[in-house]
Amino acid sequence: MGKPMAKNLLKAGFPLVVYDIRPEVVNELVAAGAQAGSSARDVAARSDVVITMLPNSPEVKEAVLGANGVIEGVRADAIVVDMSSIAPATSREVSAQLAARGVRMLDAPVSGGEPKAIDGTLAIMVGGPRDAFDEVKGILEKMGSSVTHVGGIGSGNITKLANQMIVALNIAAVSEALVMATKAGVEPERVYKAIRGGLAGSTVLDAKAPMMLSRNFKPGFRIELHIKDLINATDTARELGAPAPLSAEVLKFFQQLQAQGKGKEDHGGLVQYYESLASVEVRR
């Protein structure tokens, strides 16, 4: 996700200093016009705005608060924008440590997966100080077609978790419906075309049903990453005392697929869980 997002910033004319634990990624971005940083600390020391994009909470804490991390190099007048999808509590923890050094932070997770990261059409949901948001909004708009301030620090990731719960349940519903239609002997593609214009129509339906029908599980967003998000979502819901029984069930379905070696497939591959129970295969 971070690499195509960085490329869109370069295309927009922003000077970038980049760092990644994988040298080949840095080299590709340097070839596109970026400067190479030697560490997260080095990037922070050379930047007015520091953007991080990482898999989960532990990686964010290591990159920002760890040895040679952002906090060791960042200037007091800089803004840190973490665009990772992580636990809201981690966003608040990291923000508090940066604030002690006079640094403002935004949590700004995204939705849309790698395809929209490449196109620069991500939905970006942002939590943190409004003044910091106003200062970096023009940067974020080069990576996303929708950039929304949703509240204080951590609220960006609360919003992302809500998004991931809805997406997961939609994929599960599409899977259930198409497997039932197939089991009944009705062509699933015709079912999809018949319902997409009605109340059951959705962005998820239009994105995932064609992939299911063509047996294309090349990842736009991997099952293993959706598992991470649903774990964060159900943990957060439990901490808040909010019910999330459906999300907890779909999490189990994803985890069963991961146990079968399918964790790196697209989350639309959830249909395979239902197919295995029904002994049918959804296809054109």
Which residues are designated catalytic? Answer: 160
Radius of gyration, alpha carbons of the chain: 20
Rounded to whole angstroms, the Cα distance separating 150 from 271 reads 33
Residue with tokens 């989960």: 56
Are 9 and 139 contacting, i.e. CB atoms less than 8 angstroms apart?
A: yes
Question: Among 9, 72, 15, which residue's Cα sits nearest to residue 40?
Answer: 72
Name the phi and psi angles at 83, rounded to 5: -100, 10
Q: Which residues contact 261 (CB under 8 A, 6 or more apart)?
A: none
Name the phi and psi angles at 53, rounded to 5: -140, 105
Identify any residues that bridge with 254 across adjacent strands, giving them in sequence order.
none
Taking each helix axis from N to C terminus, what angle separates 223-240 and 88-99, rounded to the nearest 10 degrees? 80
